[in-house]
Every structure is written in structure tokens, then in C-alpha cells.
Structure 1
Amino acid sequence: MERSVRGTPPAWLTAGLKPAPAPIPWAAVARAAIALSVPLAVGLATGRPAYGALVSMGALSGVIGDTADAYRMRVFNIAVPQAFGALGVTLGTLVYGEGWAAVAVLTVVALVSGMISSIGAVASVSGLLLLLNAVVGAGLPMPAPWWKAPVLLGLGGLFVLALTLLGWPMRRVAPERGAVAATYRTVAELYEATGTPAYDEKRQAVTASLNQAYDVVLAHRARQHGRAAPLVRILAQLNVAIPLVEAAPAAHLRARLVGPLSPAIPAAVRELADAVEEGRTGAPALDDLPVPERPAEKAVDHALRHAAAVVHEADPDPYNVDDRLGRPAALRVRVRRSVRAVLFSDASWRYGLRLALCIGLAQAFVSLIPVPRSYWVALTVTFVMKPDFGSVFSRAVLRAAGTAAGLVLAALVLSEVPRGWWDVPVMAVLAALIPASSAKGYAFQTAAITPVILLLSDTLNHQGFDLVLPRLYDSLIGCAIALIAGYLLWPESWHSRIGDRLADAVADTAAYVARAFGGGGPDQGARLRARRKLYRDLSTVRSEFQRALTEPPPTGARAAAWWPLVVAVERIVDATTAARIRVDHGAQAPDPAEVAAVERELRELADGLRGTDTLVEVRAELPGDENGVLAPLRSEVSAARAIASPDLR
């Protein structure tokens, strides 16, 4: 963790204010500009600007929720949250101006919103829109009768959905092909980085890309009970990238010992990426590949030739494709499982209660103290306290910073741009900034959304420039409520249980070592699935640690102390895979006693980490052949032991 220069804010406070390197999604930018400006134009043309503003609000919800890649899941991601948003604005409208009745209803809605957020990404956005629209409905006057607001908001969401689906007939499986091709390109970069310090970073990029590709492809599969030919081919192409990924650790070890790989190898992988993206078939050209000699080289050559054969195959066997999912469960079964998970999960109740407490306090505050247009206080709490969005503390800080920046832009618009038809081009520009800035970070997304909401609010209540300063005060009040009632009062904010999370990953690594070198011959499919699950879990642990690094001391300091051990565990998995690959291609198998010693050491390390927030002391010896296949693995385990046991270094 970097130390801050004297006189400058600490790194944990300013980390989220640095824009993330992300490309601008130009298609999403165009959709957002059209989706939010056209309803305003129609409303002005028909003499109903308030109706147009409500449709644009619904479109804003659709733009925020359109986070999937596969078209089928984009339909799901936009349509389902819109239904929850309609329910939310209906409940809010019914208690508008009702004082303590509004406090009670919004508190219950917040509890439900927080609890259902643990189900998954779609449920999270649905919970957000349920609470968000309930807060807006309870704080802003809506057109009568009660059903008009949800209908108008729903129309906005449907407009975004229609714009999204315009490309479906021509690009039906293009998102899936693009995700798989991106995975092959990250694998090519991984092979280029073998033997260099950049390898670890590239391996993490491969893990993230594989996770993304499987999420996109299997999300498509989850809506289909059959085995459609285009999907079978894409899934087969993705599956055969796994042996290439598995061979990379052995290639990395080989490159460190004897020099870099031939440039023909990453070039061939990139050719596979192009073939996947373009849907090409035919015989692959692999004449430039070097003749393999060592076990690691044989593993790479075998994986590459197998991948080339499958990628260029026009019609793979649909029953010889491991989709890692199987037949999707019936909808009623999935709903029953989700309801059971919500009702009996400690985490869902805990998150729901935290969110409900904060929303209840925010709404009670504005009921007791007359605050004009006070819905912004609860609105701020909603965005800051959504439990699956990351660190509450850092979000409160970033929300305050983003709101201040957004209000500066809103002040310019509300003071200099006359209301009326000028709102249409201004809204198109402001709306385009939302998807362009969302990928840069939470503060940047907040800064982009703030002037849009203020401009739409002004269309409903006609306060003009007078909206700006009250919104800033309301945002600061909301951030303070979230920090005190949603962060400081909860012991888990100060005890992140980092040891438990990492201990589970270490225990799974021990099981993976035992599976990789167990007696009776390894089950190739089971080992591949175990490794994929382990890397996905480690990716989640890494994300949690990175989030913890943005917390103030002592949580951030503890995460910084543990961080090297997270990297060490990832390297242990790599070393295990490299050893298994070398054995598969001619190297001598390790002594079972040596395998048992490594497994025992990892399990002792996991037991020492569990339930602690401090580094632990683990003492064990790792005997074995210094020239054997497990020598690099023992070295990585010893490094992890040294990190976890400072007294031994």
C-alpha cells in the first residue's frame, strides 16, 4: 500500500477519485442520448413536459440497468427492474405527503430492497429501482391518478429496451463471440508475458476475461433448454481455451529458466481470436509453430492445436460440450430457491436492516425538520448504502465529491440555459455522459447522473437555480446518515473477517493440490472445473481486498498487510497447475508423501488464518526433491508461509 506524501490526503481516501482506464462505450452513449432526450421533446411538443420528464426518468433507470452483454440477458436486465421500479413509484405516490406513513413504507421498502440485493445482479438493480422510485414518488408530486407515474416510467424503460434490441437481428450472438474472442486475446497477452514480471497481472486479466465470457455465454444458455448450434459452437470454443490457460503456468516456468517463448505462439492464439470473432471455419494454419521438446512446450503445443481444431470446426458435437450448467431449473424452482436464500440468509437480513435503518432515519429527519424537496436525502442514502455496491465509507466520500462536481455542472445549466426546447439538446449531452463516465468510477458516474436528475426534477417542480444549494446540503446530510448509521454503528465495518475469506481460498487450494496429484488417475473434467471455481473465488477475494483497501484504518491497514498473501495463494494455484501439466506431458510424477506434505501445510495455514484479523504463525517443513516437479510449488508455499508468519522471515 502506497504511503501518502505529507500534506496530501491518504491513498485510501482518494483511490476512487482516479478515473479507471476504460474505453468509451459509444453505442451506449448514443442510446442514452436518444433515450433521455426524445421523451422530453415529445412532452414539449404535446404540451406535457412533466409527462416527458417522467418517461425520461424511466429511461434513466433503463440506462443504468443495461449492464449485460448478451441480448437475451439485456432484455431480462432492463424489463425485470422496470417492474420493480413501477411498484416502487406506486407505493411512493400513495404515501406522498403522508408524513410518518411515508417513513414506515419507505423503511419497509428499504428492508426488502437490501435483502433481495443478495440474489444476483438483476435482483440488485431491481431492489435499487424499487427503493429509488419509491423515494422519488414519496418526495415529488406525480400526475394523478396514481397509475400514471408507473406507466410513464415504464414507457421510458421500454424505450431503452427497444433501442437496445435494434441490433439483435443482425448481431444475435455477436456479444458472445466478442467475449470469447476477448478471452483468447488476453491468453495471447499472457503467453507474451511468460517469464516476465508482467505475468501475474496478465493472469489476473485472463481470469477476469474467462469469468466474463462464461457469464455471457451461460447467461444465454440459462434461457434455453435446448442446444442451439451457434451457442454449442461458441461454448466449445470457450471451453478449449481452458487447456491453453492451464498450460500457461508451465510455459511461464519454462520461460524463466530457458528464455521467452516463440512469438509464433501468441500470434497463433490471436489468429484463433480473429477466427472466433469472424465466425471463420476451415483448416487452421499452424505451420510456424516451433517443434516442442520439453514437457511444458508439449503442453502448449497440444493445447494450441486442439483449440485450433475446435475453433475452426463448423459443427461440434452438441453432446460432447461441457456447458458447466446443464438443463436450467424451472422458473418456479429458481424463484423458490431465491426466496429461501433471502429469508434464511444472515447477510441478506443484515444488509436489509442497515439500509432500512438509514432510510428510516433519513425520512424521519425530513419529516421532523422542514426541508424543501427533501427526497434527495433518502436518494443519497439509497445510492451510498446499497450493500452490494462496495465500501460504504468510500461510496459516501465519492458520492459527496461526485455530487459537488455534478452540481457545478447543473448550476451552469439551470442558470444559463432557458427552460423549454433547449432542454432537449442539453439533456442529450448530459445523458451521453452517463455511460461514458460510469466505467471510470463511482464518483464520475455520480457527477454525470446528478445534473440529469436535477434537470428532470426542475421540469416537474420548476425551482430552477434554487434547486442547486439545497441538493448539496441534502447530499451531505444523506452521506452523514449513511456513514454514522450504516457504517460506524456496525461492528462488521471495523472487522472485515479478511482471515476467514482468505482461509477458505487456501483450504480450497489444498483440496486442489490433492485432486491434481491424487491416486487412481486425475479426473480431467473435475480438475478443470475445480481450478476454474478456485480462480473465480480468488478473483472475488481479490476484489474484496481491493475494496477493503479503500476503507479507513484499521480495516484498510489490515487488508494491505494481507495483500501479499492473496498474491501468494494465486501463485500456489499456478505452480500446482504447472506441475500437473508437466507430469501429463512426460515429467516424473511426485512422491505422494511430498504431495501430502504440501497439502498439510496449506491446511495448517488455512486453519491459522480462519477467524483472525492478524497474521499468523505456521510452522511446518516441506521435504522433497529439489529437482522434482513440485519444487516450484514448495517454493511458493514456503513464500506464503513466510508472509503469514513474519517471525519466521
Structure 2
Amino acid sequence: MSWFAALRDTTRTGLHLDRALTDPKRALRGAVAVGLVLFPTLALSGPSLATSAAMGAFIAGTATFQRSFRPRPTIAIAAGAGLGVSTFLGYLAVGVPGAFPVLLAVWAFGAGLMWAIGPTAGVVAANTVSVMLVVVQLPVSVPAALGHGLICALGGAVQALVITVWPIGSWTVQREALADTYAELADYARRLRQDPTAHVDPEPFITARHAATLTPWQERHRPPEMRGLRGIAERIRPALAAIADPKVGAPAEGPERDRAREVLAASAEAMDALAKSVRTGDPLRLPRSAPALTLLTPTEGPQLRGAARRATRRLAGLLRRAADTLDRNDEETVSSTPEYGAQGRLRKPPLSRMVPVAARAVGRQLQPRSAIFQHAVRIAGVVTAAYLLARLLGLGHGYWAPMTAAMVMRPDFAQTYSRGVGRLAGTVVGVGISTLVVQLADPGEWLSAALAVVCIGVAYLTLRTGYALMTACISSYVVFLLGLQPGDPLTTAFERVGLTLLGGSVALVAYALFPTWQSARLGERLAEWLAAAGRYNAAVLALYGDPGGGGGPEVRAALLDSREARSELLQAVQRADAEPFRHSTRLPDVSRKQIDRARAAVGHLGRAGVLLEAHLPAPDADPVPGLTEFAEEVKYGTALAAGALLTGQQVDFGPVREAHARLEEQLAAAPRSEQLEVARSGTRLQLQALKDLERALRRGGGRGAAQQPSEARL
């Protein structure tokens, strides 16, 4: 799209308001924690330390509202500790001429790198830059700087204490993640009724896995009904695909297809009920119209046969197990669901042991082509430039410009520009209203503090409503909080609005001049997904060739890698569609249209692996001849194709085709069996997907690339 259209869309997004509100009890709890820090500190130590304490409590509270699956008290303590360190260093540096801009640039660069750990770490790190700018105003001694740092960290500790004493929805995010997985499976089953080659959305499964990775404390306190349900959901997905697929499941037309549609519809209703029960914690209530737990051979009407019948029996057993888990909270039943990891559990290390993990994640991004590294350089330059520009212009309260720049900058175009517009609009409105209140009412210290607490409570309440409205509340909070300091409110308001416009403009212009376009990275994401999908298909095939080889963990690990790679590609495509113009994909002679067709082909390859996984042989089954060798060819062929895609060479699956021809000869000579027929159908689907991919990526414009049907999408 054009720059005008891209800016128009991001402006609408930044100003859009939803009716959704944060849980009022959680918003009240966060505001109460801020008040518990602000008022005693104001009474005992005066406005200066009270400002530091309140800012620490506010940012720590904001961190607990981010979507994270760690215990919220630990998030608040970690955020408070980071705020305390940034405040202490800032106060030390501001007393040394020329040291503060250097510290600001280094700290902002480090904050940008925190996005390598995750969005929560990135947001909290950006907030530490803002707090450093707000509370650090005058040079102080080292003991005083230490006091400000400790009092700022105290805000996070108080937030953690209040959360511990007043727990609200302790497992809400985990329940929602698990329920979203079953809701997606229900929707997937409905789509399969009309489109047997439909694809499932990987994001709920990825989120549910993160939610199921627990700390030792969470493992001890997890509700019993949440044990094992994610593993059941993972096994339901291939069973649904195996029932619907016309190659290895029910025929494309006829009575069996009608029966398969009935099975899928009943399963969807059952999984909707499961999702509702998981989300609310209420007892499971299956609808009367959903015979999903009795999907065995019907006494009358058409019957499924062969692989479709076996997949239906497996699906019925999984649904019964999920229902029993919710009905009886039977830990022994749920623990039988296979999980790969230490003692069958996914363990999350405590924050104290996360430092080496975080260091490795950041270290992998220290290269010029990394989007995270580019974001870190960009935010460091923008924040420092805004700070120096405000100082050169001689404007009071110059910290508002770099603070705005730090809060606006994000790693991608859409978020940066939508947040920039929302920040500018929200700050103008918030500063204007709060300044008018201060000008007319002339509140004293205590009333200003009370108004600040009210504003932060409303800000917590509107976190899900829209960034512009939340920013208006936060701006009012800062105005009332800084109103504890002496100064002319009207003059200060004009300065803050002007500096906000300055900082936001610098951030938006800097991103336009030094962008990180997702369109240019689509080829890299596609190559990563292709290699991961090849490893997954090879791992599944290897189990057919050697059922007793114990390759289950390899299949699981390869599936997770493929799912993550596909999710990253989907996110890159979504962000690229919001960018102005169509940028180069960094791949010689490969267009965006070819990449879109190649996405469909790799999607078919991944789906072939899912269908084969749905019918994995038992450990004591007879091996299918030739599949071990063919698995190796698929693995190395897709890896070589991914490398060729990145280096500008022609993608060629000739060796894989030759290996498949040899495989067909071996299968034709082997005794016929249901397992062999499933393997033959699956390998043919794999070969067809690779042929489609080869045609899609044909160099020189791709005119000979085969057009994919509309349903062959991600």
C-alpha cells in the first residue's frame, strides 16, 4: 500500500477504542498498591522521594498486566529491581557533566535488546528508560541516589506484596490459553467439514505450551483439572485432520463423507464445551446434540472404514479422557498423557536462573541484520537525540521528549506508528484536562496525590480499551504526580505538549529513515519454515521405518520447531501487509507473489506430516520398508532447498523424486497392509507439495508456477 494508506490505517488503529475493560478488581488492586507507596512516602520523606516511589509502583503494576505466565509477584519484583537500578544510575550520571546522555543511550540500547527475551521484557525495559527520565531531575549525592533507587524498587515490592495478599484470578491467563486451544480445535473441526485441507492456527498451541511451562512453585499449586489437557489437545489435532482428509480418511463424496462431517460437527460442540469449562472453571456440560463421546461404530446409518474409522476411535478416546479430566480431576488419568521433558513436565526456571538464558537470547541478536539489534540501535539514537534536542532548545521539563520517543518505539512499523499517533493524541488530551483541573482547583499535595492514584486506577482499567485513552490517563497521572513539585501549571502544560509532539515526531521520522521492513524478511522466514517442516516430516517417516526406535521425542521437537517457524512467518506476513509499498524480499528473482504461493506449498507439506502422525504405528508394528532412507532424503532435500532459497540458487527436488520412485518400487513388492497404504498416501502428498514448491519458486518471475487453490493457504 502507499504511504498515505499505511499512515491512515495506523492512525485509525492508534485512535481506535474498544469496549473491553481490564478486570476492575485487578485495576483497583494495582491502584491501591500505588497509594500504599505514595501516601506514606509523601508524609515521611516529601514530594521528591514520593515521586520515585509512585513511579516504581506504577511501572511494576503495569508489568503485572502484561501477558506473562510467570507468577505476577515475581514480575513485579523484577520490574521494581530494574527500575531501582536505572534510577540509581541515572541520579549518579546526572551529576557528572556529559555522562547522562551516554548512560541514556547505553541503557536505551540495552532496553531495545530486551525484546529478544520477549514482549514483556521489552515493554518493562522501555518503561525503565521513562522512569529514569522522569525522576532524575537534579544532581544528588551517592547516598541520596541510592535512596531514590531503593524507594523506587520498594514500589515493585509493595505491588508484589499486595498481589500475594490479595490474589485475583491467579490462573486466569493459563486457563485462557488452554481454553483458546480447544476453541481453535473446535473451529478447526468446523472448517474441516467444508474444507478437508484446512490448516489450524498455530498461535493458540504455542501460547498454551508457554502457559504450561511452570516454575516449581506453580507446579505445586496448579489446579488439578489443568494437568494434561494440553497434551490431549495436541493429539486431537492430527486425529481431526486424519478423519477429514480424502486421501487417508473418509472418501471425498458419499455416505462416509457425510458421516465424517457428523463426527466433526459433534466433536466441535464437545470441544466448545471443554473450552468453556476450562475457561470458567465450571463443571463440564456437554450439549445434548453432541454425541462426541460415543463416536464408535453407529448401530445404523453409514459407517467409517479403515484409517478414518481408526482415527475416529482415537478421537473419541481423547475426548473422553479430556472430559474425565475435568469431571473427576483425576491426576492419575491425566498424568498418562505423554509429555516430553524432565519427568513428563515442562519446567520454567526461576528468574534467578534466567540470566544465562537471557544472555544467550540477547547474544544471538547481536548482529547487524537482526531486527532486534536494529530496533535497539534505533531506540538508543532516537531517545538520545530527543533528549539533546530538548536541551539545545532550552525547554523546561525536557525529559518529556525522550520519554515519548522511548514509549513509542517498537520493532515493527505498524506498532510504532499506531502507538505514536495514540501517544500524541492521548498526551495532549491528558495533559490538557489535568492541567485545567490543577489551574482551576489548585489542589495541594495530598489532593494531587489522590488524583494521581485515581488516574492510575483508570489507566489500569483501560489497558485493553485503547492506547490513546490509556495514555491520556497516564499523562494525567504524571501531571498530578509532578504537581507535587513547585511550578506554573499552565506553562508546564504547554511545554509538555510541545515536547511530546517533538519526541513523537523524532521517533516516527527516525523509523521512516531507518526502517526494519518485514517484507524484506519474508524469504528468510519461509526458508526457516521449509527446513523445519522437512525435519518434522522426516521424523514422522522415520517412525514408520523403525516403529520401535523411540523417535517420539524427535517428532515432538520437530513439530514444535515447525510450528514456531510457521507462526513467525504468519506474524511477518501480517506486519508486512501493514507496511507502505512492497519492499524487496532480499531474494534474487523471487517476487512476493511467488513467496505467497510457496507458503501454500509448505503448508501442504506440513499437513502431510500431520496426517502421517495421526496414524503412527505401534512400537511393536512391522516397519514399512524404504521409509527410513526416504526420510533422510526428505530431511536433507528440504534443508538444501532452504539454503538454495536464501542464496539465490534454483530449488530442485530431483533427488527426492528419485528416492520416492525407489520407495514406490519397494512398497509395491511389500505385503499390503493398512499401515503401508497410509504411508504410501502420505509420501505422495509430500512429493506433490515439494513439486508445487519447486514450481512456485522457479526463478525468473515464476510464470510457470502452478496456481494453488484458494483453500491452500496458511
- Give 1:506 deviation, angstroms: 0.6
Once residues 411 and 190 of structure 2 are traced to their aligned partners in structure 1, the CA distance between those partners, rounded to angstroms, is 33
CA RMSD of aligned residues (A): 4.5
Paired AA for residue 539 in structure 1:
S
- Give the 3 Å change call, closer, same or farther, for CA 319–162 of structure 1 in structure 2: same
**1:281-300 equivalent positions in 2, closer than 5 A:** 288-291=294-297, 293-294=304-305, 295=308, 296-300=311-315
Tell me what 2:211 maps to: 216
Aligned to 1:497: 521
Match of residue 532 from structure 1: 560
Structure 1 residues 232, 533: closer, same or farther in 2, change over 3 A?
farther
Q: 1:237 — aligned with what?
A: 229
Q: Distance in 2 between matches of 1:11 and 1:644?
A: 34
Matches within 5 A, 1:6-85: 13-14=10-11, 16-17=13-14, 19=16, 23-26=20-23, 27-36=25-34, 48=46, 51-67=49-65, 73-85=71-83
TM-score, length-normalised on structure 1?
Answer: 0.80
Alignment partner of 2:428 out of 407, 410, 416: 407
Cα offset, 1:278, TM superposition:
3.6
- State whether residues 549 and 555 of structure 1, in contact with CA within 8 Å, keep that contact through their aligned partners in structure 2: no
Specify the code of the residue in structure 2 equivalent to 1:304: L
- Structure 2 alignment gaps of length 5 or more: 298-302, 665-676, 706-714
Residue 507 of structure 1 and its aligned partner are, at CA, apart by: 0.8
Does the CA-based 8 Å contact 1:100-1:364 persist in structure 2? no
Structure 2 letter corresponding to 1:452:
Y
Q: CA deviation at 1:280?
A: 6.5
- Counterpart residue type for residue 237 of structure 1: L
Q: Report how far residue 374 of structure 1 moved.
A: 0.6
Structure 1 pair 427–556 and aligned structure 2 pair: CA distance change class (3 A): farther
1:127 maps to a residue whose letter is A
Distance 1:261 1:528, change over 3 A: farther
Q: Conserved in 2, the CA contact under 8 Å of 1:62 and 1:78?
A: yes
The answer to whether 1:647 aligns with 2:675 is: no
Take 2:696 and 2:642, find their aligned partners in 1: how far apart are those partners?
Answer: 13
> Counterparts of 1:92-111 in structure 2 under 5 Å?
92-96=90-94, 98-111=96-109
In terms of Rg, which structure is larger?
2
Deviations 1:621-643 (A, max 9, x none): 96889993455555555554554
Q: Does 1:606 align with 2:642?
A: yes
- Aligned match of 1:355 in 372, 379, 388? 379
1:373-417 C-alpha deviation (Å, 9 max, x unpaired): 1111221232234xxx43157514531443223312331232145
Q: Taking structure 2 as the reference length, what is the TM-score of the superposition?
A: 0.74
**Secondary structure at the counterpart of residue 304 of structure 2:** coil
Deviations 1:192-246 (A, max 9, x none): 3323469958x21xx322322222231334x57xx64857863422222210122
Q: Which residue of 2 aligns with 1:581?
A: 614
Give the secondary-structure state (helix, strand or coil) at the position aligned to 1:95: helix
Check the 8 A contact 2:293/2:320 in 1, yes or no: no
Write out aligned runs for 1:107-506 (5 A): 107-120=105-118, 123-125=121-123, 127-139=125-137, 145-168=144-167, 175-196=173-194, 203-204=200-201, 207-221=202-216, 228=220, 230=222, 234-253=226-245, 258-259=257-258, 260-262=261-263, 263-273=265-275, 276=278, 278=281, 288-291=294-297, 293-294=304-305, 295=308, 296-309=311-324, 312=328, 314-316=330-332, 322=339, 324=341, 334-339=354-359, 342=362, 345-347=365-367, 351-385=375-409, 389-391=410-412, 394-396=415-417, 398-416=419-437, 418-420=441-443, 423=448, 426-427=451-452, 430-439=455-464, 445-483=470-508, 488-489=513-514, 496-506=520-530
Conserved? CA contact 1:542–1:566, under 8 Å: no
CA drift of 1:80 comes to: 1.0
Distance 1:131 1:44, change over 3 A: closer
196 and 24 in structure 1: CA distance in 2 versus 1, 3 angstrom threshold: farther
Cα contact 2:181–2:204 (8 A) shared by 1: yes
Q: Is the 8 A contact 1:86 1:151 kept in 2?
A: yes
CA distance in 1, matches of 2:596, 2:514: 27
Q: What amino acid does structure 1 have at the position aligned with 2:262?
A: L
Instruction: Classify 1:246/1:24 alpha carbon distance in 2 versus 1 (closer, same or farther; 3 Å).
Output: farther
Identity %: 19
The equivalent residue for 1:546 is 574
In the alignment, residue 91 of structure 2 is paired with which amino acid? T
Letter of the 1:209 partner, please give it.
P
In structure 2, C-alpha distance between the alignment counterparts of 1:500 and 1:70, rounded to whole Å: 28
SS of alignment partner, residue 395 of structure 1: helix
| Post-superposition offset of 1:75 | 1.9
Provide the aligned length of Structure 1 versus Structure 2. Answer: 632
> Structure 1 residue 275: deviation in Å?
5.6
Kept after mapping to 1: 8 A contact 2:67/2:120:
no
1:91 aligns with 2:89: yes
Q: Is the 8 A contact 1:194 1:252 kept in 2?
A: yes
Does structure 1 retain, via aligned residues, the 8 Å contact 2:267–2:292? no
The letter of the residue matching 1:161 is: A
Residues 483, 402 of structure 1: alpha-carbon distance in 2 compared, 3 angstrom cutoff: closer
> 1:172, CA displacement in angstroms?
5.7
8 Å CA contact 1:188–1:270 kept in 2: the answer is: yes
Partner of 1:372, secondary structure, is: coil
In structure 1, list runs of 5 or more residues that go unmatched. none
Cα deviation, residue 509, structure 1: 0.5
2:601 and 2:693 in contact (8 A); partners too: yes
Q: Give the whole-Å Cα distance in 2 for the aligned partners of 1:232 and 1:85.
A: 36
Q: Which residue pairs with 2:672 in the alignment?
A: none
- Aligned mates of 2:602, 2:378 — CA distance in 1: 33
Distance 1:566 1:220, change over 3 A: farther
Shift of 1:166: 3.5
1:28-48 per-residue CA deviation (whole Å, 9 max, x = no partner) reads: 333344344565666777894
